[in-house]
Chains A and B, each alone.
Chain A
């Protein structure tokens, strides 16, 4: 059996800084995961639909634009409507502490600030998805 962890990495909204997302995507690939990288300017609908079609285990959302409190809850809502509440959703980017707390309460598994070592993300993911 050849099971791999499948992760969707997406940048919702209009934020154009994709270096972090690309770094995470490559790190996850090097850790043996299959990373579906969707690139910039994804709407929550596109993200939820991709997560459904690709039957992913986890979604990584990268947001540096400050729009996280609008976009992320919207994604979570759509995942719920689509019947995919068991997906592990993690967030990276510029997220103030109190927003991070609110997001964790919403069901986000982890919020990673800039400078988080990729090894931590990988370790957490392996644990969350098993």
Chain B
């Protein structure tokens, strides 16, 4: 049985090895995706983002369990991709999200994969999109993607996930912080976690007010067809608010399908992936043909103020 067959049959070691190949940009990884790509497109992708300290991993832990809890109906298979930042100095990373996911680790059928950003900004890793594709072909019903959570520019997740959850917590900054561009704008659902802490209600109210202003600033002709971003309070540690969150996610997914947004987002995601792969491959190909000596010479000329960087680049491009 070849690797593709094994993956389709649920062999998780084969899947894990494939994810490594994709992450390291190895040809075997690409070949497998060529073979299995037609099996993708059937998973619900849920993004979880938010500042460090908001309790994302703890929430993912409880949410995944809740999502997997289908009682009498058909079992739902779940995969989790947890991203953590790479050190810009050593290139290494401490991938510690599993510490908060102990409950999930007791369910070996829930697939958890930790990955490092490896120098890419935006909250995800370079190959996160392709790794999600791989997980889709392996047949997971739901794929949770937790971003690295180190800044406000973590918006790439919105272009990958169907539903994006932004997790906030009381005491992480005042409401002006919340209004800063980026992270709130990508939310399909806002979660105020650590709801047991003081200030949680105030935080939720401030976020509601922010959303209200957003809605008034951007009136939409058919506002009944719009999705109204809700603010949900949870305490992941105490398992509170999780069933409501699960329900809200389901409602969002239903709305996505009914409104055609599901298709729009999936198509936008593929467009992004295609563009990025084209860029990377063109650049790599071009770099291979670039004469190192000429490049070094031009660099030396720039560094001794003899020619401008723009001129140097034009010269290389015109070769």
Contact = CB atoms under 8 A, between A and B. Distances in A.
A35 B108 contact: no
Nearest to A33: B92
Given A29-B90, A50-B98, A34 B116 contact: yes
B181 to A, nearest CB: 31
B16 interface: yes
Interface stretch (A36-44, A67-75, A88-96, A108-116): A36-44
Given A38-B105, A45-B108, A26 B94 contact: yes
Contacts, number: 88
A118 to B, nearest CB: 13
B72 to A, nearest CB: 27
Between B19, B96, B106, the greatest number of chain A beta carbons within 10 A of the residue's beta carbon is seen for B96
A32 B93 CA distance: 7
A97 interface: no
B295 interface: no
Interface string A1-43: 1111010000000000000000001101111111111110110
B95 A32 contact: no
Contacts of A29: 87, 90, 92-94
Between B16, B20, B98, the greatest number of chain A beta carbons within 10 A of the residue's beta carbon is seen for B98
A52 B116 contact: no
A36 B92 contact: no
A55 B25 CA distance: 15
Contacts of B95: 34-37
A46 interface: yes
Contact of A2 (B24, B89, B108, B112): B24
- Interface residues of B: mostly helix, strand, loop or mixed? mixed
Given A29-B92, A29-B93, A39 B99 contact: yes
Interface string B74-100: 000000000000110111111110110
Contacts of B91: 4, 32
B96 A37 contact: yes
A82 interface: yes
Contact of A54 (B87, B89, B113): B113
Contacts of A45: 108
Contact of B90 (A30, A41, A50): A30
Contact of A52 (B12, B25, B90, B94): B12
Nearest to A45: B108
A18 B91 CA distance: 24
B113 A53 contact: yes
B109 to A, nearest CB: 10
Interface in B97-146: 98-99, 102, 105-106, 108, 111-114, 116, 118, 126
B17 interface: yes
Contact of A30 (B12, B25, B92, B105): B92
A83 interface: yes
A119 interface: no
B215 interface: no
A49 interface: yes
B172 interface: no
B13 interface: yes
A35 B94 contact: yes
B105 A55 contact: no
B59 to A, nearest CB: 17
Contacts of B106: 46
A1 B112 contact: no
Nearest to A37: B96
Interface of B: 12-13, 16-17, 19-20, 23-26, 86-87, 89-96, 98-99, 102, 105-106, 108, 111-114, 116, 118, 126
Interface of A: 1-4, 6, 25-26, 28-39, 41-42, 45-46, 49-50, 52-55, 82-84
5 contacts: A30-B92, A37-B99, A38-B98, A38-B99, A54-B114
Given A36-B98, A53-B12, 9 more contacts: A2-B25, A30-B89, A31-B90, A34-B86, A36-B114, A37-B95, A39-B102, A42-B105, A84-B13
